[in-house]
A and B are shown apart, each in its own frame.
Chain A
Amino acid sequence: MTVAPQSTNQNPITQAAAVVDLGLSACEAYGRDDLAGRLAAAKRSLTDPSVHIVVVGEFKQGKSSLVNALVGAKVCPVDDDVATALPTYLRHGDEPAAELIFEGDPPRREPVELKDIERWIVEDDPTPRTTGVVSAPATVREEQPRPAGVEVRLPRRLLAGGLVLVDTPGVGGLGSAHSTASLAASSMADALLFVTDASQELTRSELDFLAQARQMCPTVVCVQTKTDFYPAWRKVRDLNQAHLTAAGTDIPIIPVSSTLRSRAVAANDTDLNNESGFPELISFIRDRVRGDATTRLASEAAAGVVAVAEQIISQFESEKAALADPAAAQQVVAQLTQVKERVEALKSAAARWSQTLSDGIADLTSDVEHDLKNRIREVIAEADRAMEDTDPADTWAEMQSWLESTVAGEMLANYTLLRDRATALSEQVGQHFQEASGEVLRQFPVFNPTPLAGSVDVDHNIDLEKMKVGKQAMVALKSAYGGAIMFVMIGLMTGITLGPIALGIGVIMGRKGLRDEKKKQVAARQQQAKNAVRRYCDQVSFVMGKDSRDTLRRIQRELRDHYTALAEELNRSNAEALRSATEATKSTQAERDKRIKDLDAELTRLRQLKQRAEAVTAG
């Protein structure tokens, strides 16, 4: 095994990939295929480092145009009226290609002609989405499933290196169910481009969305579009900057014109490109967004190499200790035997961390369920109260959208509870594992499990130390929760209707008995509406409850697998050390001297590897 001189000034991904390769060959050289498995996973995530940039904003602010201008191609449909209805994922590919993505596990994919995607992306019926998202009635949907998204591959330099640009449907208004769904989806993003045009200041609903998004996503930037068209864009930008500062956020504003950029690209006009404001946006994406994400990914992978190196180093060091001083060798063996027992205890179901995990998941499941139940009960009570003094014939449409958005909000809160508690539990389990392993861990540091993450993930800002345990939970959380489930929920409401409104226009007949008759009809409609609300809430509770139970089960499994494997690794390292130490007691002086020399050489290499990996970790 050799270590090539370290070249600075290189892409962190390439650097990380290089140390991971070295780590892999070390594992192979020392026969540690168990450790190699982990590094192989880290390597996979390095070769496909997806960095998701999600473009969000209210209707018609210029999201699709922005995405098109960024890649310099007309991919996303742009129109004065018809709106984007499906999320579109743009990623790198050697040839232009497109696929429809259908819901499923794993999602089903279906190739489609690039020129035909427009038909899928835009809404088939451009009636305004007044109650969240209009989706086809359940029956129609079953016959002809609507894709959940469209993926487009383009040979563009900007996209190389794993950048994925996501164009999304416009969000309609304050606290709508749809905007909650976008928020949930944005928690999965590496960065959020919030699009608002220069025609006016940010509105209350936009500012609220931004403030919330800032909590969910590490990098948020406000892109002000259409600067070519609005003479007062500088004034609007300054006003917005003041609003953002007043709201206590550090979100930067980048003013751009997609129209100028597209022209500049077509005419290869550098000056015009500079006028468009895109160079600033692109360098922001390159340096801040992709830079941050790749640095993070690289340092996670490198941290894995550090841990692998450390395990093998400590194994070799105990062997060396046994070899160097045959008198002490017995003691080393005794120590290692003791460690062996501990490690074995660590593996058993009776281990404290394992207990903590089972109990914790059980508690969490019931707490989350309880929380959801309470929330839904509150919503129903509020809906009932609201219906007391209105006539659903007039207010049902509003009631529907209110219900959708309130329920979505409560779901998000319930999800946040689950996420926070699961993270805390994961940390606690790690703590107990660490405590119980005590000495063992001091010798064999806990392997950082993050490379398992495989792709982009939530909560990048927790430091590496915390990620040891915290991230585990997030992997499972991400795969189950959030955006997807939210969008499913929104669809549910459309299935529920009030039934025909049996309202005569009897008022025209004169006034006798009119008031009584009217009251009776209103009361009947109120009952109908209350039932419909309950039906919807039942459905939501059912889907959501099942989803959170599944998610928790998956978290439990992942944590258990992770720590069991860790114990196994430690066991193996220990066993190797024990074996060599025992051998050492039996070997001759000459054999020992030779082995010590070998070990020293290996240790030097391993330390170099570790150092080099640490350099990548430090960024």
Chain B
Amino acid sequence: MNLLDRTRSVLDRARQLYRGTGHEPRLAEMGERLDEPLRVAIAGRVKAGKSTLLNALVADRLAPTDAGECTRIVTWYQDGHTYQVTAHPRGEQPRQLRFHRDAGAIEVDLNGLAPEKVTSLTVTWPSQALRTATLIDTPGIGSLSDQVAGRAFELLAPEDEETPADAVLYLLRHLHRNDLDFLRAFHDTEVSQPNPVNAIGILSRADEIGVGRLDSVASARRIATRMAADPNVRRVVQTVVPVAGLLAETAATLTESEVAQLRKVAELPVREAESLLLSADRFVQQMPELGLTSIEREALLARFGMYGVRLVISMMRHKVATTATELAAELTDRSGISDLREVLSSLFFERRDVLKSRSALLALDRLTRTEPRSGSEAVAAEVEEIIASAHPFRELQVLSAIRAGWVTGKPDVVAELERLIGGAGAATPLRLGLPADADDPTVAAAAGDALARWQRRAENPLTGHELAIAARVAIRSCEGMLAALQERR
């Protein structure tokens, strides 16, 4: 029986046990949740660029963004057949809301509802991107309004319930103490709750790192790599990816007229263009002869940012990219969003089943502990049994043990171990450190080698206790890969 089936069966058992109690709906929801797309929350401090990143991932401008504090209600964006927005007012029935969408984001008419009275909004929107993951936009941490500040915590680390998110993207502008506190709050590191399995760190607004220099992206990459190697960060997120959400969002929604407007600037003599681009104020106010209104110029800045404008103009001038299509591709590439998509798919989407059953099992564990009744002990034992024995969970446990610094050994050995159990992604070639398109015989050979190597390590009396245990898990991982290859043949 695979993990999802085992999870379903224990859920069924629990449903029978709690039949007729007030917990039935909660259990029913756990079951439904297993089959839904993965729920990914986007969290971080105020103005980290959460809503912008959400739009970039959906490749559409759905979530409102602004320079001032903006997102005040937790908002779910899910795929569906129709366009609709539902409010979930605290302690009341959900109700449908009117919304409109003129130039950009969806503007919801709360129809007299006070924002602090609304637990969450659900935006249903037919979208390919939302089919793989439901995205949850959250208000910023560290908000000046106390009402808003607590919202993200309520969602991701609720006091009395399981979190409705299966995974989190955590946006950091630069490493900040508050950020780490938040991550820790979300990760209750009970050994039975492996982590950091479901969090990815994002160094957001990456284009702003150099505050205007054109090599910002390289700088951002260096900082992200350094952060990802920090033990404190590794304990809570799998990795850190630099992303310039604004560039990605704009690239995904770039218009021909925007390109035409920027071309006017690119065609200026170099010195004049440089002087114009020296500051945001200059760009808006100087050279009236350019044939761009200040409103158009402000709009360009809002869409591209200073860095984006400078980058596009430099690319046009050097003929790196000139058409809207080419520019969109370049911007997407430099924004880092494609790297993020890859990381998302190898760390989250390919592990969807594990993350889903993890969410369900944790919820069940909580229910049986907080609402015990005769027979719930057995359900709890079964949950624990699955958590302790299912191989994917063991992998995750070893992974978090490595991340927490509990498994020690030679650095390259530990690094190989981490990769082998899926630390860099669940796909077989990734685990073996092979290119994604490696052919089966190569993969099989590598898996066989790894198996032999880790068997030796597991049996070597000089191997430390923790590493030996971890080695046994790695052996199972290798056997699993070999078995899967066998089946394919």
Contacts and interface: CB of A to CB of B under 8 A. Distances in A.
Question: Size band of the B side of the interface?
Answer: 35 or more
Given A172-B177, A173-B176, A511-B384, A275 B279 contact: yes
A176 interface: yes
Given A173-B177, A230-B280, A128 B227 contact: yes
Contacts of A80: 209-210, 216, 219, 223
Contacts of B205: 199
A207 B233 CA distance: 27
The interface centre, meaning the residue of A60, A239, A272, A394 with most chain B CB atoms within 10 A of its CB, is A394
A229 B306 contact: yes
Contacts of A233: 280
Interface string A271-305: 01001000000000000000000000000000000
A130 B280 contact: no
Nearest to B400: A505
Interface in B436-480: 465-466, 469-470, 472-473
Contacts, number: 156
Interface string B222-240: 1100110010110000000
B397 interface: yes
Nearest to A58: B176
B302 A231 contact: yes
A174 B149 CA distance: 14
B306 A231 contact: yes
Contacts of A199: 47, 173, 205, 208
Contacts of A275: 279, 281-282
A507 B191 contact: yes
B107 to A, nearest CB: 19
Contact of B469 (A128, A501, A505): A505
B476 to A, nearest CB: 10
Interface string B391-408: 000100110010011110
Nearest to A78: B211
Interface string A223-256: 0001111111101100100010000000000000
Interface string B374-418: 000000000011001100001001100100111100000000000
A59 B174 CA distance: 8
B191 A203 contact: no
A176 B67 contact: no
B473 A508 contact: yes
Interface in A392-420: 393-395, 397-398, 401
A260 interface: yes
B177 A200 contact: no
B162 interface: no
Nearest to B48: A200
A36 to B, nearest CB: 54
A367 to B, nearest CB: 34
A597 interface: no
A122 to B, nearest CB: 14
Nearest to A503: B406
Given A130-B177, A130-B180, A508 B208 contact: no
A201 interface: yes
A205 B178 contact: yes
B176 A59 contact: yes
B142 A205 contact: yes
Given A130-B232, A201-B47, A236 B68 contact: yes
B142 to A, nearest CB: 5
B281 A501 contact: no
Contacts of B473: 508
B195 to A, nearest CB: 10
A518 B208 contact: no
B184 interface: yes
B214 to A, nearest CB: 13
Contacts of A508: 388, 394, 397-398, 469-470, 472-473
5 contacts: A200-B67, A203-B143, A231-B298, A275-B282, A398-B181
Interface of B: 45-47, 67-69, 142-144, 149, 173-178, 180-181, 184, 189-192, 205, 208-212, 216, 219, 222-223, 226-227, 230, 232-233, 278-284, 298, 301-302, 305-306, 384-385, 388-389, 394, 397-398, 401, 404-407, 465-466, 469-470, 472-473
CB-based closest 3 A-B pairs: A173-B177, A228-B279, A232-B67
